[in-house]
Chain A
Amino acid sequence: MRERRRFLKLLGKGSVVTAFLVQAAGALRAFVPNVLYEPPRQFKIGRPEDFPEGTTFLPEHRLFVFRRGNDFSVVSAVCTHLGCTVQWRGGEENFDCPCHGSIFNRDGDVIGGPAPRALPWYSLDKLPDGQLLVKTDEPVPATYKFQIA
């Protein structure tokens, strides 16, 4: 009789605690979004022939596109320190960050300020429709050049 009561008590307490924990976990899980209203990690930026020699800034993607003849490369404009948008200063051939004064050279390497890492370069591809595809989920070394035919 006492044993049964103890068991039932334990069962009751256990159920309440478990149920509460599961519900709390569920509520917390709700804060992890299952879909994102965000642009994809790979996107088209236009045809190669649209890009002039030198540097082009794409504000909506926060990217710089470099073109040297048939060689293309794409570097992120997001400072590796705390995420502000760097500006290309053509005169000095530097990327400067307005937030905390990081400076990157032409290759994206840090030459001053607090930034911990070089600016990442991204892999490129040419799609059958003639458009350039940037893959921001595929970082590449600064020496990377995408050659168009």
Chain B
Amino acid sequence: MREKLKHLWRQALWTWDPSTPREASDAIVRNFWLHWFPAKIHERSLSWGYSLWLGTISAVLFLILTVTGLLLMFFYVPSPERAYWTIKDITYTVSFGWLLRNQHRWAAHLMVLAVFLHMVRVFLTGSYRQGREVNWLVGLALLLATLLLSFTGYLLPWDQLAFWAVTVGTNIAREAPVVGPTIRYLFLGGTEIGQPALIRFYVLHVGILPSAVLLLVAYHMWRVRRDGGLAGVEEARAEAVKQAVAPSPAKSYSLFGVTAGTSVEVERSAELDEQNSTFSAPHLARRIMAVSLVTVCVTLLLSLLSDAPLEEAANPSVTPNPAKAPWYFLWLQELVAITTIRIGEWTLSGGFIGGIAIPGILLALAAAWPFLDSSPPSACGKWWAAERRTQNRVFVLLMMLIAALVVVGLFIRGPYWGLYLPWQPWPPLPKTI
């Protein structure tokens, strides 16, 4: 009986601890949790230093967010009258509610960071080449979805931060030429921020955007394998292709004809010979487990160390001073505050330049770059390839500019968006009593 149960269990999902290579490759097909991995994986794909595992970390963070978010949905009520107070209840009276909320918040912050760094890694290693252009675009869409999720998320507590973030955010949208006001009207479900806006942002946050991310991530992962694995193995593959370039007369290639095409079977995976590959089970599976666990641990540790803030309940007649966006939007807030152009009577609002034009140009450039980059294939999948030195430098400079704007917004902006050095005290914010 016991043997039977054990067998059933193993059949259902868990075949593990393979004792032979054959079992190891079987495990992939048999195990529910492993079936989306390749049977064998190149050692370079497993390296810590090449990919930094940022994609995996992002995915794990998304998983944490889904689980904690789903639980939070049981306690949160998306109504302007109740929302703020249900957050207070989650913080104070729901058992481990504080942990749920803290973990959700920290995972969200970390996910923005991880997705951003993942993009930086892919750019610096030139990994968007060699058929991976589409996946780069998918990645950009995921970055946007992550930012939108954050934006719609920090709005739900309906505190002062939430209210004024929506005010500023939707007014930036209004600055878009022609369609701006309509977009704002549709997002808010009116011209002012109230119940229609809250429920719209809520549904976006808990339904539409997470589904979009899930679908995009699935496609992203499928593309990674379809495009021949991480770009880090391109070098090894080129080597293998070179060695195998002369078709063996013993094999009947003639039936298909050895062509210059990019058939997955012939040129991509198959040529990556066995010698530097290893079984996904257990090596890949174990690393993924380790990365997942470490990620969970980091969110837990941060949740224990620092509590998610909640400002005063939303008050349309009082704008907090200063009203700062979360750190990942501070560079935009800094931009909209400093990019208004005045030439005589003619004014172009910073809301348009800094909020729409500059991010739009950056996004368009990012989307077009894989098709403009003309570096040789040998530069693909290598950190700081000499052939891509200039573009890597420009990219790093741009990213550092954004980071610098974030730092300015975070540490040296005070009341009325004035400059206050970290050691300069702000004028005291008065209280009622």
Q: In the complex, are there CB atoms of A and B closer than 8 Å?
A: yes
Q: Which A residues form the contact surface with B (CB < 8 A)?
A: 31-33, 36-38, 59-60, 62, 81-85, 87, 96-101, 113-117
Q: Closest chain A residue to B413 by CB distance?
A: A101
Q: When chains A and B are docked, how far (Å) is the Cα of A59 from the Cα of B316?
A: 8
**Does B311 make an interface contact (CB < 8 A)?**
no
Q: Which 5 residue pairs are nearest across A and B when measured between Cβ atoms?
A: A59-B317, A101-B417, A116-B349, A98-B321, A100-B337
Q: Are B168 and A85 in contact (CB under 8 A)?
A: no
**Does B164 make an interface contact (CB < 8 A)?**
yes
Q: Which of A38, A116, A117 has the most CB of B within 10 A?
A: A116
Q: Closest chain A residue to B417 by CB distance?
A: A101
Q: When chains A and B are docked, how far (Å) is the Cα of A116 from the Cα of B340?
A: 7
Q: Which B residues form the contact surface with A (CB < 8 A)?
A: 164, 167-168, 171-172, 185-186, 189-192, 194-196, 316-323, 333, 336-340, 347-351, 354-355, 415-418
- B347: chain A residues at CB < 8 Å are 116-117
Q: When chains A and B are docked, how far (Å) is the Cα of A98 from the Cα of B164?
A: 11
Mind listing 19 A-B residue pairs with CB under 8 Å?
A32-B185, A33-B189, A36-B190, A38-B190, A59-B317, A59-B318, A81-B351, A82-B171, A85-B318, A87-B321, A98-B416, A99-B319, A100-B417, A101-B417, A114-B340, A114-B350, A115-B340, A116-B347, A116-B351
Q: Are A98 and B415 in contact (CB under 8 A)?
A: yes
Q: When chains A and B are docked, how far (Å) is the Cα of A49 from the Cα of B416?
A: 34
Q: Which of B171, B185, B417 contacts A98 (CB 8 A)?
A: B417
- B167: chain A residues at CB < 8 Å are 82-84
Q: Are A99 and B322 in contact (CB under 8 A)?
A: yes
Q: Closest chain B residue to A81 by CB distance?
A: B351
Q: Which of B196, B323, B340 contacts A33 (CB 8 A)?
A: B196
Q: Closest chain B residue to A31 by CB distance?
A: B186
A73 smallest CB distance to B (angstroms): 20
Q: Which of B195, B336, B348, B418 contacts A82 (CB 8 A)?
A: B336
Q: When chains A and B are docked, how far (Å) is the Cα of A38 from the Cα of B194?
A: 9
- B351: chain A residues at CB < 8 Å are 81-82, 114, 116
Q: Are B337 and A113 in contact (CB under 8 A)?
A: yes
A133 smallest CB distance to B (angstroms): 20
Q: When chains A and B are docked, how far (Å) is the Cα of A18 from the Cα of B61?
A: 42
A112 smallest CB distance to B (angstroms): 10
Q: Are B316 and A82 in contact (CB under 8 A)?
A: no
The answer to whether A99 and B417 touch (CB under 8 A), given A32-B185, A114-B349, A116-B350, is yes
A79 smallest CB distance to B (angstroms): 8
Q: Closest chain B residue to A101 by CB distance?
A: B417
Q: When chains A and B are docked, how far (Å) is the Cα of A27 from the Cα of B340?
A: 38
The answer to whether A97 and B190 touch (CB under 8 A), given A81-B350, A83-B171, is no
Q: When chains A and B are docked, how far (Å) is the Cα of A116 from the Cα of B341?
A: 8
The answer to whether A101 and B337 touch (CB under 8 A), given A33-B190, A59-B318, A81-B350, is yes
- A32: chain B residues at CB < 8 Å are 185-186
Q: Closest chain B residue to A38 by CB distance?
A: B192
B313 smallest CB distance to A (angstroms): 15
Q: When chains A and B are docked, how far (Å) is the Cα of A36 from the Cα of B196?
A: 9
- B338: chain A residues at CB < 8 Å are 114
The answer to whether A82 and B168 touch (CB under 8 A), given A59-B317, A98-B417, A99-B322, is yes
- B190: chain A residues at CB < 8 Å are 33, 36-38
- B195: chain A residues at CB < 8 Å are 37
The answer to whether A100 and B339 touch (CB under 8 A), given A82-B351, A116-B351, is no
Q: Are A62 and B317 in contact (CB under 8 A)?
A: yes
Q: Are B164 and A36 in contact (CB under 8 A)?
A: no
Q: Are B189 and A101 in contact (CB under 8 A)?
A: no
- A38: chain B residues at CB < 8 Å are 190-192, 194
A99 smallest CB distance to B (angstroms): 5
Q: Are A62 and B316 in contact (CB under 8 A)?
A: yes
B180 smallest CB distance to A (angstroms): 12
A30 smallest CB distance to B (angstroms): 10
Q: Are B319 and A98 in contact (CB under 8 A)?
A: yes
A40 smallest CB distance to B (angstroms): 12
Q: Closest chain B residue to A84 by CB distance?
A: B319
Q: Are A101 and B350 in contact (CB under 8 A)?
A: no
B186 smallest CB distance to A (angstroms): 6
B81 smallest CB distance to A (angstroms): 13
- A100: chain B residues at CB < 8 Å are 333, 336-337, 350, 417
